[in-house]
């Protein structure tokens, strides 16, 4: 029974063409049953009547490996998504991060910080944290990328002459990759809905143009 899901309740009152992105939920059906997913949904409306909802489920693990992991510049880099309440959506370091930088990121918009906090094993390490907002549909998320200062210096030292320029290059490159990743996510979402909508079986439907 899916009628109690927030996306279904939303779709019953939504305007055709609108998109809803859910908070992480546990899938109840299909191959993803029992796993954490984010659902992207849009209402199906025919002759001004609600007929159902088109839903695409994205595994959080797939979202991480496909779009976030490529942003890492070392094996110690942490790439995280936070919701509007500052909760970390998908990370093995959630407890450590929430305790040390969670509060500072709750009201953050875009920028960087230099902060020291313990790893999971308790070792204190200084991190560079760059973050940028992701505003899409009904969601206001934050993308945060944390890299140990030593790793960042080792990676970018050949391209700079001073530590100051190294830090600047690091932040600019990270934010540029973040923006690029956000664009890819939006294109993928648009194409997925276009394909699903155009394959639906209700009559006299208007075609949705896919991204090229």
Mean pLDDT of the chain: 70
Of the candidates 155, 193, 181, 143, which has an alpha carbon nearest to the alpha carbon of residue 20?
193
Which residues, other chains included, contact 49 with Cβ-Cβ below 8 Å and sequence gap of 6+?
A: none
Q: Rounded CA gap, 7 and 132, in Å? A: 26
Domain 61-185 has CATH 3.30.450.20: yes
Q: What is the mean pLDDT of residues 131-140?
A: 71
Domains 6-59+188-199 and 61-185 agree in fold: yes
Residues 6+ apart with CB under 8 A from 55: 7, 39, 40, 41
Cα separation of 120 and 79, whole Å? 16
% of residues, the chain, pLDDT over 90: 0
Cα 117 → chain centroid: 24
- Predicted local confidence at residue 195, as pLDDT: 55
Domain boundaries, the chain: 6-59+188-199, 61-185
pLDDT average, residue stretch 110-129: 78
Separation between Cα atoms, residue 40 and residue 5, nearest integer Å? 12
Residue 70's pLDDT band, with cuts at 50, 70 and 90, is: confident
* Contact (Cβ atoms closer than 8 angstroms) between residue 146 and residue 81: no
Q: How far apart are CA 19 and CA 42, in angstroms?
A: 5
pTM above 0.75, yes or no: no
Please work out, in degrees rounded to the nearest 5, the angle formed at the alpha carbon of residue 181 by the alpha carbons of 30 and 92: 60
Report which listed range, 2-11, 43-52, 179-188, is most confident: 43-52
CATH number of 6-59+188-199: 3.30.450.20
pLDDT range class, residue 205, cuts 50, 70, 90: very low
Is residue 138 within 8 Å of residue 11, measured between CB atoms? Answer: no
Higher-scoring residue by pLDDT: 93, 10: 10
Tokens of 157: 């030292």
Q: Taking Cα atoms as reference points, which of 1, 164, 177 lies closest to residue 77?
A: 177
> Confidence band (pLDDT; 50, 70, 90) for 61?
confident
68, containing H or E segment: none
Q: What is the pLDDT of residue 62?
A: 75
Measured in residues, the chain has a length of: 212
In the predicted model, is pLDDT for residue 66 greater than 50? yes
Q: What's the pLDDT at 203?
A: 47
């Amino acid at each position: 029974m899916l009628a109690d899901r927030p996306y279904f309740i939303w779709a019953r009152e939504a305007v055709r063409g609108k998109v809803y992105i859910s908070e992480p939920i546990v899938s109840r059906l299909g191959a993803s049953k029992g796993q954490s997913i984010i659902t992207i949904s849009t209402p199906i409306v025919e002759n001004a009547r609600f007929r159902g909802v088109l839903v695409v489920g994205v595994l959080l693990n797939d979202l991480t490996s496909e779009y976030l992991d490529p942003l890492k510049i070392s094996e110690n880099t942490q790439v995280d998504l936070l919701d509007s309440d500052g909760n970390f959506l998908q990370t093995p370091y959630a407890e450590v991060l929430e305790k040390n930088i969670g509060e500072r990121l709750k009201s953050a918009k875009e920028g960087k910080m230099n902060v020291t906090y313990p790893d999971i094993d308790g070792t204190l390490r200084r991190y560079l944290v760059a973050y940028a907002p992701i505003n899409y549909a009904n969601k206001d998320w934050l993308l945060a990328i944390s890299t140990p200062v030593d790793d960042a210096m080792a990676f970018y030292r050949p391209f700079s002459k001073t530590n100051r320029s190294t830090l600047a290059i690091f932040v600019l490159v990270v934010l540029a990759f973040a923006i690029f990743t956000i664009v890819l996510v939006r294109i993928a979402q648009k194409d997925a809905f276009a394909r699903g909508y155009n394959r639906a079986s209700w009559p006299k439907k208007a075609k949705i143009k896919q991204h090229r």
